[in-house]
Structure 1
Amino acid sequence: MVDVVTEIMINCPISQVSEYASNPDHAPEWYVNIHSAEWRSPKPLAIGSQIAFKAKFLGRELAYVYEIVELIPGKKLVMKTAQGPFPMETTYTWQVMDANRTKMTLRNTGNPTGYSKIMSPFMATMMRKANMKDLKKIKDILENN
């Protein structure tokens, strides 16, 4: 089991952070490894919405579909994929620190299978590094635009 938790403080109101982060159209802007996000269901985002992502991780091209399984606007977003060699659940949570500061937490959990299972200790380290890059990028985008 891989369970990676990263967090960052963003100097913006929670509404601004959560609205930006929970919009799949923005994912390629702040996720270093995601190249595209394509809606497979009608907008707006809701439980059951499906979004297809294309990414590159550890030198491999990945294509996967996330389904929104929990959505509490301004507080929490949980999306899950079941297909592929590395079924994954990604959770975003946002917490008000004060009127203009938000703590954003990004958590990825999954049970790798096959070759990915052998690589899981290394994968967790690489995911943690990538997630921190992503959080630093979203922080930079939101604080400087």
Structure 2
Amino acid sequence: MGGIDVTVRRVLPFPPERVAGYAMDWRHDAEWTQGIRTAELTRPADGGGFGAGAEVTRTAYFLGRRIDYVLKVTGYEPPRLLDMRSVAGPLPMHVTYTFEPHPRGTLAQLRVRGGQGGFYRLAAPLLSRRVRSSLGKDLRDLERRLTEGAPDG
């Protein structure tokens, strides 16, 4: 192994349908996800629109560097699960969003895995800390956006 595997969780005071409706909509990626400047649906799902098989191209900045990458949706079960794998970009990545009912709203969980081997194996401890910090900010920003009345997808 030796790569990155980071999970963060936060209870958000909204129902899973509202949280997932916003967070799973690629059009909102740049509003709540750290470092993302643009996101574009570059390949629709097999049945059209967004869902399994769709690809989203993101431009992000991480550690001061521009990163362009493409995530392919490999699992899409709203409002519970969005699972994506990178199919183009500098770093192999697997991103999973899960939203489960919780007595106080929704237990939101973001997980990022990737960066096996070479430089990423050596840099994993530093990158993991940065990714954990970023994901924690993502969930805080997601809660703030929903509190401010951001539209559901």
Counterpart of 2:143 in structure 1 is: 139
The residue matched to 1:3 in structure 2 has which SS? strand
Task: Return the alpha-carbon distance in structure 2 between the equivalents of residues 113 and 58 of structure 1.
Answer: 19
CA RMSD in angstroms, aligned pairs only: 1.4
The residue matched to 1:135 in structure 2 has which SS? helix
Question: Are the counterparts in 2 of residues 5 and 128 from structure 1 also a CA contact under 8 Å?
Answer: yes
Matched, 1:68 2:64: no
Question: Are the counterparts in 2 of residues 6 and 132 from structure 1 also a CA contact under 8 Å?
Answer: yes
Identify unmatched segments of 5+ residues in structure 1.
none
The residue matched to 2:138 in structure 1 has which SS? helix
Structure 1's consecutive aligned runs of 4 or more residues displaced over 2 angstroms after TM superposition are 82-85, 111-118
Structure 1 residue 44: deviation in Å? 2.3
Counterpart of 1:105 in structure 2 is: 109
Percentage identity across aligned positions?
A: 29
Counterpart of 1:116 in structure 2 is: 120
Counterpart of 1:92 in structure 2 is: 97
The residue matched to 2:89 in structure 1 has which SS? coil
Identify unmatched segments of 5+ residues in structure 2.
none
TM-score normalised to the size of structure 2? 0.88
Question: Are the counterparts in 2 of residues 85 and 116 from structure 1 also a CA contact under 8 Å?
Answer: no
Task: Return the alpha-carbon distance in structure 2 between the equivalents of residues 15 and 143 of structure 1.
Answer: 15
TM-score normalised to the size of structure 1? 0.93
Matched, 1:77 2:82: yes
Counterpart residue type for residue 104 of structure 1 = A
Counterpart of 1:38 in structure 2 is: 40
Structure 1 residue 32: deviation in Å? 2.1
- Kindly tell me the number of residue pairs found equivalent between the two proteins: 144
Counterpart of 1:5 in structure 2 is: 7
